[in-house]
Amino acid sequence: MRLTKSLKIHDTQDQNQLNSTDQRPIWRRLLPYILQQPGWLMAVAVTGIISSLSALLAPWLLGKAIDTLLGKGAVRWKPLAGLILPLALTYLASALFQWLMTASSVRLSNQVATSLRKASFDRLTRLPLSFLDQKGKGDLLSRLTTDLDAVNDGLNLLLNQLFSSLILLVGSLVMMFAASPWITILMLAIMPFNFLVTRFISSNSHHMFMEQANLAGRLNSYVDERVEQADLLRAFNQEEISRQDFHQLNEELYVVGQKAQFFSSLTNPGTRFVNNIAYVAVGLAATLNALAGRITIGQVSQLLNYTLQFAKPVNELSAVTTQLQNSLAGARRVFALMDQPEESDDASLPELKVSAGAVSFAEVRFSYRPDRPLITGLNLDIRPDASVAIVGPTGAGKTTLVNLLMRFYDPTGGQIFIDQQNITSVTRSSLRRSIGMVLQDSWLFAGSVRDNLAYGRPGASDAEIISAARAACADEFIRRLPQGYDTVLSDSGSNLSQGEKQLLTIARVMLLNPRLLILDEATSNIDTRTEILVQQAFLRLMEGRTSFIIAHRLSTIRNASLIIVMNQGSIVEQGTHDSLLQEKGLYYKLYESQFAGREA
């Protein structure tokens, strides 16, 4: 048991790894999203430049002010008085435009994150079901939330530094050269070690942040799965094992996170050490030059301040290296999701036009894995308005058959026709609009009962909604709810019984009034009395429509016009209920096993 659980955890890791087909640097991929907000980008640039120019002007003014102090009791008051107001205005302008730049960068980074989130979700809705079936929901959710939040934070930090840092670096050099070229060259000889330290640590810690982000996605998937199946967890007494598995994943995340944070935390002390050496060297050299009369005391102050300003962008960037690395890892995971191949574009294809409702499977082959064929050479012709029941043991391929009909998956070979139209030659949307589907697992969203019923037809009238609910035997219990049809359901409809949720999903399909129906264990979660009423409603609904019914409870399909018996991906028997019982084949054995158990 423990080995199986442990292997499942590591299988999740493999499932959550997504390979990106676009190998461009992350900044090049982010740039188009940034350029979509030219107004805010311009605001960040202008305010950053003004703030930086003000910051550059202040040390120069301060140096001039210091040079008005000639000695003890010897002060040139008039020049000093003329410098006080400009100096105060310079510091005020620097602070004001720094705030405006921060506000603009926050707005810009939020807009970029919003655009990325929209693009990511749009891509997610266009990905094939085969992809979604193989990936952990928690990991996908993590990419759209946690990872994009990290991108937002990192981009905000970077935008705050981008324009101001460039101006400060260039401006500080120019001002230092004006004061003393040789001292500037001394400073430049030391500063490259700063960039070497930053580059070395960043390049070596990036993979740790990627691993941290992937582990966080795995942990989210694990928690999501356990919370969703909490009742099953308790029913099998798996709480302790689940806690142990969670602690294992959590400990792995802690270890990887510690390594990433520790390695990244070395950046700021390393760069500050180099900056302090440069500061001391510039201070010593400037003092010696001042004593020799080559520069003034005010210029010593200017050189020291500009050395600090030159080092400031490096210090600030190194101080937020952890956030930036986390942001890059998050962006890489988001773009990896966006790079996944989506369903082929079928906008140019004609729409499906269903008139009679005949369905044909011609030499259809399919497998979820290339090395494990499931359906091989399946041929089936279904006349219009037939009610076709599909039965068989678990894993026989029953649900796969309707997945192929809905084009949730495409066959690896053969063709499927509806009214002689190949379903791969028409748009998916028109195909799925023509088919109503009720699944065993009911799905409801947080919203009113009315909104849930009208999910497929947002413009449906109240009369149509109520009529569909009555046909599905749901109207009576809906009216007993606190606000009737306006009652707000909690997430997944958890404030309803399983049977009530199933009745609502049945009513939702009845409101669509589709030409074809798929009922996948649609009555499995409804009590016997309600099942009888719903079966009567289904019979009315199926009149004049081609219907597919997947059922394990064979008592519910006696009236089907055709029963297909599947086993290991092939049709082994077909006929009516009575004819199949007379053949005494697999259907007879399945039927006898159910009713013999009841009699016992």
DSSP string, 253-266: HHHHHHHHHHHHHT
Helices (H), ranges, 348-411: 398-405
Q: Does residue 266 share a domain with residue 378?
A: no
The verdict on residue 353 lying in a domain is no
Q: Does residue 560 share a domain with residue 421?
A: yes
Q: Does residue 320 share a domain with residue 382?
A: no
The verdict on residue 476 lying in a domain is yes
Which residues partner with 421 through β-bridges? 418
The first and second tokens of residue 55, run together, are 């910051």
The verdict on residue 527 lying in a domain is yes
The verdict on residue 268 lying in a domain is yes
Look-up: residue for tokens 């520790």?
262
Per-residue confidence band for 570, with pLDDT thresholds at 50, 70 and 90: confident
Q: Which residues contact 412 (CB under 8 A, 6 or more apart)?
A: 365, 366, 367
Q: Does residue 218 share a domain with residue 186?
A: yes
pTM (2 d.p.): 0.70
Closest CA to 510 of 561, 483, 547: 547
Give the model confidence (pLDDT) of 268-300 as tens digits: 677 778 777 888 888 888 888 888 888 888 888
Q: How far apart are CA 178 and CA 306, in angstroms?
A: 11
Q: How far apart are CA 82 and CA 286, in angstroms?
A: 26
pLDDT at 209 over 80: no
- Chosen domain end from 308, 338, 368: 338
The verdict on residue 71 lying in a domain is no
The verdict on residue 81 lying in a domain is no
How many residues are listed for the chain in this entry?
A: 600
The first and second tokens of residue 578, run together, are 């009575």
- Chosen domain end from 309, 338, 367: 338
Task: Name the least confident of 19-23, 200-204, 487-491, 517-521.
Answer: 19-23
pLDDT at 511 over 70: yes
Q: Does residue 584 share a domain with residue 452?
A: yes
The verdict on residue 506 lying in a domain is yes
Q: Does residue 314 share a domain with residue 196?
A: yes
Give the model confidence (pLDDT) of 143-172 as tens digits: 888 888 888 888 888 887 777 777 888 888
Strands 570-575 and 562-567, sheet pairing:
antiparallel
Domain that holds residue 381: 359-599
For residue 228, the surrounding DSSP H or E stretch is: helix 192-228
- Chosen domain end from 279, 306, 338: 338
Whole-number Cα distances in Å, 229 to 234, 480, 490, 551, 566: 9, 29, 17, 23, 30
The DSSP secondary structure of 487-531, one letter per residue, reads PEE-GGGTTS-HHHHHHHHHHHHHHH--SEEEEESTTTTS-HHHH
Closest CA to 46 of 115, 105, 107: 105
pLDDT mean across residues, the chain? 80
Q: What is the total count of domains within the chain?
A: 2
Q: Does residue 304 share a domain with residue 166?
A: yes
| CATH assignment of the domain containing 468 | 3.40.50.300
Q: Does residue 467 share a domain with residue 374?
A: yes
Look-up: residue for tokens 């109207």?
475
Q: Does residue 410 share a domain with residue 297?
A: no
Q: How far apart are CA 539 and CA 553, in angstroms?
A: 17
Q: Does residue 247 share a domain with residue 390?
A: no
The verdict on residue 196 lying in a domain is yes
Q: Does residue 334 share a domain with residue 429?
A: no
Q: Are 162 and 48 in contact (CB under 8 A)?
A: yes
pLDDT at position 202 is 67
Strands 447-448 and 546-550, sheet pairing:
unpaired
Average pLDDT of the segment spanning 166-187: 84
Q: Does residue 577 share a domain with residue 484?
A: yes
Give the model confidence (pLDDT) of 3-52 as tens digits: 333 334 444 444 445 665 555 788 888 889 989 989 999 999 899 888 88
| CATH assignment of the domain containing 9 | 1.20.1560.10
